[in-house]
């Protein structure tokens, strides 16, 4: 298995492409627009530069990694030689089903089809293909080049052979794969998202402010990042989508998203990606912080 296709050049997609390319695989990065691909490749370059600055890799390593990546705006062209396809598009069921139908039609018959979904049923995705035994979940964590965990989720029909292949492949990437069962949210988000949602409820109910809630969790529970700041980095729209998937899947009110989260997403406050969420990430705010730092 040497030819890997990654569908989607966004945060997760470019991180997955980076990780495979750095491990010596030939990577085809596919997105619908050249602009998105260019942004993704730029991010990979910047992340490699950070690794060079930390003396983790050399300039030659960076060049080799980038040389291992080809880009395509046509899905059929990008998957025609793939041994494995990893779909990393937006966390939207209809979109993923559409992409998997196209992947199934265009990819070689022996190609494994994986999804980076963080909550959607692998069994449901596999059902739209002619190869459900070759469909599996590979849930990477963000930032992909750094985080060690990969949740491996087998659907109802996923074969033992495919599962073992993907477990071993994850280890080749320097990751630690954990096999989990196909239920909404899997393990990571089934535990994480209710905690984030409860932190938002705590803010919504006026128990404490944003920084107070995050500080309690950081200092009291040894979390490296508070739940509200983490939600901003994940994307509040992504958090809302995952909670909706779990709420729809379990019909349990404990997974119902907080009204504050719903309203923030509707207002366009999605966290870091939009410049504002529970914290302000706008350029003016950054300038203010720099100015205050010089005054001290």
Q: Is 283 annotated as a binding residue?
A: no
Q: Is 104 annotated as a binding residue?
A: no
Q: Is 137 annotated as a binding residue?
A: no
Decide: 147 and 137 in contact? Cβ < 8 Å.
Answer: no
Count of C-beta atoms within a 10 Å radius of residue 185 = 22
Decide: 37 and 14 in contact? Cβ < 8 Å.
Answer: no
Token pair 């705010």 in the structure block, residue:
285
Q: Which is nearest to 189 in space by CA: 124, 137, 128, 224?
A: 137
Q: Is 12 annotated as a binding residue?
A: yes
Angle between helix 11-22 and 34-53 (nearest 10): 60
Give the C-alpha separation, 123 to 142, whole Å: 24
Count of C-beta atoms within a 10 Å radius of residue 68 = 18
Catalytic residues: 118, 139, 151, 189
Q: Is 235 annotated as a binding residue?
A: no
Q: Is 56 annotated as a binding residue?
A: no
Q: Own/partner pairs for 102-106, CB < 8 Å, 24+ apart?
A: 102/75, 102/76, 103/7, 103/75, 103/79, 103/129, 104/128, 104/129, 104/130, 104/131, 106/75, 106/76, 106/79, 106/80
Give all strands (DSSP E) within the chain, no chain letters: 3-7, 26-30, 69-72, 84-87, 112-115, 135-140, 149-154, 176-180
Q: Is 31 annotated as a binding residue?
A: yes
Q: Is 11 annotated as a binding residue?
A: yes
Q: Is 73 annotated as a binding residue?
A: no
Q: Is 142 annotated as a binding residue?
A: yes
Residue 93, Cα to own-chain centre: how many angstroms? Answer: 15
Q: Is 10 annotated as a binding residue?
A: yes
Token pair 């905690």 in the structure block, residue:
195
Binding residues for NAD(+): 8-13, 31, 91, 96, 118, 142, 273
């Amino acid at each position: 298995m040497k030819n890997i296709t990654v569908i989607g050049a966004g945060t997760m997609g470019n991180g997955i492409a980076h990780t495979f390319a750095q491990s010596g695989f030939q990577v085809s990065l596919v997105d619908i627009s050249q602009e998105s691909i260019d942004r993704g490749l730029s991010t990979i370059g910047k992340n490699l530069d950070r690794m060079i600055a930390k003396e983790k890799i050399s300039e030659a390593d960076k060049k080799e990694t980038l040389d291992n990546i080809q880009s395509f705006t046509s899905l059929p062209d990008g998957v025609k030689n793939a041994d494995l396809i990893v779909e990393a598009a937006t966390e939207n069921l209809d979109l993923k089903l559409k992409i998997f139908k196209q992947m199934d039609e265009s990819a070689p018959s022996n190609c494994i089809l994986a999804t980076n979904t963080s909550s959607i049923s692998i069994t449901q995705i596999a059902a739209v293909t002619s190869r459900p035994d070759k469909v599996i979940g590979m849930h990477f964590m963000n930032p992909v080049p750094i985080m060690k965990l990969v949740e491996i989720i087998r659907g109802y029909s996923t074969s033992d052979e495919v599962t073992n292949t993907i477990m071993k492949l994850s280890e080749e990437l320097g990751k630690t794969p954990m096999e989990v069962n196909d239920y909404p949210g899997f393990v990571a988000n089934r535990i994480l998202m209710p905690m984030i949602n409860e932190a938002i409820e705590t803010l919504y109910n006026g128990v404490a402010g944003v920084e107070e809630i995050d500080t309690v969790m950081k200092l009291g529970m040894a979390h490296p990042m508070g739940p509200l700041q983490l939600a901003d980095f994940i994307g509040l729209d992504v958090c809302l989508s995952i909670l909706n998937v779990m709420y729809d899947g379990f019909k349990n009110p404990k997974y119902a998203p907080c009204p504050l989260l719903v309203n923030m997403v509707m207002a366009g406050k999605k966290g870091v990606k939009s410049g504002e969420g529970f914290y302000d990430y706008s350029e003016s705010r950054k300038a203010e912080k720099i100015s205050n730092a010089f005054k001290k």
